[in-house]
Structures are given as C-alpha cells and as structure tokens.
Amino acid sequence: MKEKIIVIVGPTAVGKTSLSLSLAKKYDGEIISGDSMQIYKGLDIGTAKVTREERKEVIHYLVDEISPNENYAVSDFKTKAKNLIEDITARGKVPIIVGGTGLYIESLLYNVSHGGQAEPDLTYRKELETFAEQNGKQKLWERLESIDPKAAESIHCNNLRRVIRALEVYNSTGQLFSSLQMEKTNKEKLYDAYVIGLTTDRALLYERINQRVDFMFDQGLIKEVESLLATVPLTAQSLKGIGYKELIPYFENYISLQAATEQIKQNSRRYAKRQLTWFRNRMEISSWWDFVQAPENQEKLEAELEIFLRM
C-alpha cells in the first residue's frame, strides 16, 4: 500500500508555510521542505525560511541541513524525502511536503527522471547556435533527426530554440528528448498523495511578493548576503537563488541598491508565474485554493483532508 502524504504547492508568497503549520498541528504531521534553497544554512531571510520558533512548534526536515558551499541536487532531495516519508509514516505521523520547487516535488511524486530538466550547457548551446548560423537551421534540425527522429518529427526546423534544447538534453544526459517527453504523459504515481495547490489573484500575488522583498530588506537581507559573500565563492549554487544573485552586482558596485531591489522583485514575480505554470501543467493537483482572499475556506479543505486520511 502506498504511503499517504499531504503536499502543499504554489508560488512564492501565497501562504504555503502558514497553511502547512496549521495542518501539521491539526493532523499530527511533520513537515518536509520541498524548497531547493531552504536546505542551506545561513540563507534565512532571502528564502523566507520557516523560523526557529515555528520549527519548535512542528518538526521540519530538509531545512538548514547543508553548508552554502555544498551542492544540492534533485536526486539528493528525492532520496532524503523518500526515506523521511517512510520514517514519519512508520511512527504514525502524517508527512506533509511543502514547497515551491516544482522539479523537486514532481520528482518525489512521480517516477520521472527529469533529464529534460538538465542544467543549460551554455558552451554547447553557443556551439549549436554558431552551427545554425553558418549552415542553416535545416542542417541543425537534420542533426537532431539523426539522433532522435521522434523529437525531430514534433519540432519544426525553424524552432531553433527547441531543436537546440533537444540536442542539449541528449548531450548532457545521454537520454533522448522524445523519451523524456513521454514521461510527462505516462507518469507513475509513487504515493497516495493529496496535493493542495495554492493560488490567488495575480495582481494581489505580485503585491504580496513586492511587500515580502521590502520586508526582507527590513529584516537584514543586505547583512545576510554580505556575510555569505565573505565565505562562499560566487560560483556556489546557493548564491544563484533569487534574493542573493541580484545583490552580487550591488556589492561589486555595478548597480545601485534600488536597481538590485527592483531586480529581486521582478525575478520573484517571474518565478511565481513559472511556478504556477509548472504545477498546472506537470502535476495532478487534488484541489486549488485561494486562502489569501478567502481564508474561511480552509474549513472546506480540512473536510476533504479528513475524508482522504480515513480512506
């Protein structure tokens, strides 16, 4: 029998943490963070990390576990989260997975490899772009056709960006782009999961994001990033997160603090849009809720969860 788990997903600043704490207290749950940046020690303000006080109220996992100098991959998350779910379930508790990193959540819920989400290889990408400029888009498409006919059949030769991505994925992972696309429609569910999707009006969400960024600066984001830069190399994965990477040019005196702040807000809004697109297109959401505008509807959600947990 598959383990029962509750999953809470949604864009940044939509209220995932608040809901997770409430549900964990009600259903004797323990929370597993599905956020790619909260795993790092010292990245507190910029990641809107759950506070130490909140962690005293409810047990949290995969928060503050590794040094910002270390790398953390989706495979690491999947292995750790899987083991945690088994342990939490064995102790009679309810595992609650919370996060906005769609790649992580999907990898945990479904049997997919995510080769299609390979990190961009900018050097190889530039090589392919140069080849297309010198030989034409058709020739580059023919290269894809010789490697992955099924992918070439579904990608027009003029769609240069898509052709390059298909070749890039094969070069990076050794897997055919077409086979990875098939995973999207033939995904095996690994858990009996009730997946809660949180959303709200787009303008309201963007306003909340802007306010959150301002609050981060009030809380000391500048000092947090300055402290990290003293011990963490610029190439570290941890410094590529939103709220951190935008401040590096500021400390190098390339841009003003105001410009860096606006970039953080803009990148956060864009990320929120991508998050919503990911969850809507790649995951099976049990039900969508807007608790920003209608917090009273949480009772309806809890009624659904009661039925789910008894089944």
List, in order, residues 6 or more apart from 195 with CB less than 8 Å away.
Answer: 7, 9, 109, 283, 284, 285, 286
The answer to whether 51 is annotated as binding is no
Encoded tokens for 295 = 């917090």
The answer to whether 17 is annotated as binding is yes
CA–CA distance, 137 with 50 (Å, rounded to integer): 48
CB-CB contact of 234 with 59 (8 Å): no
The answer to whether 11 is annotated as binding is yes
The answer to whether 123 is annotated as binding is no
The answer to whether 12 is annotated as binding is yes
The answer to whether 185 is annotated as binding is no
| CA 87 from centre of chain | 24
The answer to whether 16 is annotated as binding is yes
Alpha helices in the chain (DSSP H): 16-27, 52-57, 74-90, 102-109, 122-135, 137-147, 149-154, 160-173, 177-183, 202-219, 221-229, 248-251, 257-282, 298-310
The answer to whether 15 is annotated as binding is yes
The annotation places the binding site for ATP at 10-17
The annotation places the binding site for substrate at 12-17
The annotation places the binding site at 10-17
